[in-house]
Amino acid sequence: MFKLTSKIALVTGAGSGIGRAIAQTLAQAGAHVWVVDRDVAAGASTVTLIRDAQGHADFAALDVSNDADTLALATHLPALDILVNNAGIGHVGNLLTTTAVDLDRLHAVNVRGPFNLCKAFVPAMLTRGVGSVINLASIGGVVAVRDRLAYTVTKHAVTGLTRSLALDHSHTGVRFNAICPGRVETPFVQSRIAEYPDPEKAYRDMASTQLNGRMARPDEIAAAALYLASDEAFMVTGSCLMIDGGWSAGK
Give contact residues for ligand NAD (rule: CB under 6 A). Answer: 12-13, 15-19, 37-39, 42, 62-65, 86-89, 109, 136, 138, 181, 183-184, 186-189
Catalytic residue among 151, 196, 203, 227: 151
CB of 151 vs ligand NAD, minimal distance in Å = 7
CB of 186 vs ligand NAD, minimal distance in Å = 3
40-47: list long-range contacts, CB under 8 Å, 24+ apart: 41/15, 42/15, 42/16, 43/14, 43/15, 45/15, 46/14, 46/15, 46/19, 46/20
Give the nearer residue to ligand NAD in terms of CB position, either 87 or 134: 87
| C-beta atoms surrounding 89 within 10 Å | 16
Residue 151 is among the residues annotated as catalytic for this protein = yes
Give the nearer residue to ligand NAD in terms of CB position, either 216 or 233: 216
CB of 221 vs ligand NAD, minimal distance in Å = 8
CB of 121 vs ligand NAD, minimal distance in Å = 15
C-alpha–C-alpha distance, residues 199 and 90, integer Å: 17
Name beta bridge partners: 216: 184
Report CA torsion sign: 138, 142, 146, 147. Answer: positive
Do 131 and 80 contact (CB within 8 A), yes or no?
A: yes
Give the nearer residue to ligand NAD in terms of CB position, either 130 or 210: 210
Give the nearer residue to ligand NAD in terms of CB position, either 109 or 228: 109
Where in the sequence numbering do the catalytic residues fall? 151
